[in-house]
Amino acid sequence: MRSRLLRAASLGVALGAVLAWGLLTPLDWPARAFTAFLLVPLPALLLLQARVVQRVPQEEEREAVYVSSAVSVWILAALAMLAARFSGFTREELWMRWPGALPVLTGALATIAAGLALMAAARLLRIRETPLIRFLLPVTSSEKIAFAGLSISAGIAEELVFRAFLMAALLRAGLTLPATVGLSVAIFAVSHAYQGLAGVLRVGLLGALLTAPILLTGSVYPAMIAHAALDLIAGLVLAGWLTGEAEH
C-alpha cells in the first residue's frame, strides 16, 4: 500500500512538473526548468522530508544541521542566479537595484518591527513549537555562532531564490503581480514544512511581510537584511523563552 502511494505521489509530482513546464513557455529554458523545479518537485520533496523526519537528532548533530542547511540554500541561490543569468534577466527584473541607504534601512527596520510583532503574537497565543524546532535552537556559544551563519545565509540566499528569482520568473511568464506574490509566498511557506502546520502558516505571514519592502522600494536588499535579522532574533529569543518555560 505504501509503495503504491509513493508511486502515485511520484507520478503526481512528475505530471505537475510537466504542467508547470508547459505553463512557463515565455521563459528561456534555464529559468523555465528551475522555476518548474521550485513550483513542484522542491515543495514535494520538502513535504516528504517533513513527514520522514520524525526523530529528533542527537545534540551533537545540531551544528551539522546548520552547516548542511546553509550549504543547501546557497546551492539553490547559485542555481537561481545561473538560471537568471543564462535566461537574460536584468538586475532590475531580479529586484537587485540599490535605491539608497535610507529606503533600504527604513524598509528593513519596518519589516523587522512587523516580524517581531508576529513573533510576539505567536507567543501570546501560546503556539507551541515542535520537538524538532526546539532541537534546532542553539544552546552553546559555538552553536550560536553557527546559527548566526545560517541566519545570514538564509536571509540572503532564500530571498534570492523565493523573492528575487521566483517573482521575476513568474512575472516574466505572464502572471499578475498578486498571483506572483501569492505563489511565491506559498512556495516559501511550504519549503518550511518541517516546522509543522503552525510554522508553515507563520512563515507564510513572514513571507508576505518580507515581500512588502521589495514592492515598495523595488529592491530585495531590505528583505535580505530583515530576513537575516529576524531569523537570528527568533533563534536566540525563542531559545531563551523555551529555556524559561523549562525552568518553570
9-55 pLDDT per residue, tens: 454 555 566 666 667 889 999 999 999 999 999 999 888 887 776 56
Is residue 168 within 8 A of residue 94, CB to CB? The reply is yes
Question: What tens digit of pLDDT does each residue of 153-178 get?
Answer: 999 999 999 999 999 999 999 999 99
What DSSP character marks residue 28?
-
Amino acid identity, residue 86? F
pLDDT in the model for residue 5: 46
DSSP string, 155-209: HHHHIIIIIIIHHHHHHHTT--HHHHHHHHHHHHHHTTGGGHHHHHHHHHHHHHH
Residues of the chain with pLDDT under 70: 1-22, 53-60, 238-248
pLDDT in the model for residue 89: 98
- Distance in angstroms (rounded) separating the CA atoms of residues 165 and 161: 5
The sign of the torsion formed by the CA atoms of 221, 223, 229, 235 equals negative
Confidence (pTM)? 0.90
- In the block, which residue shows the cell 515581500? 211
Q: Which three cell numbers stand for residue 43?
A: 515543495
Residue 134 dihedral angles phi and psi, to the nearest 5°? -60, -40
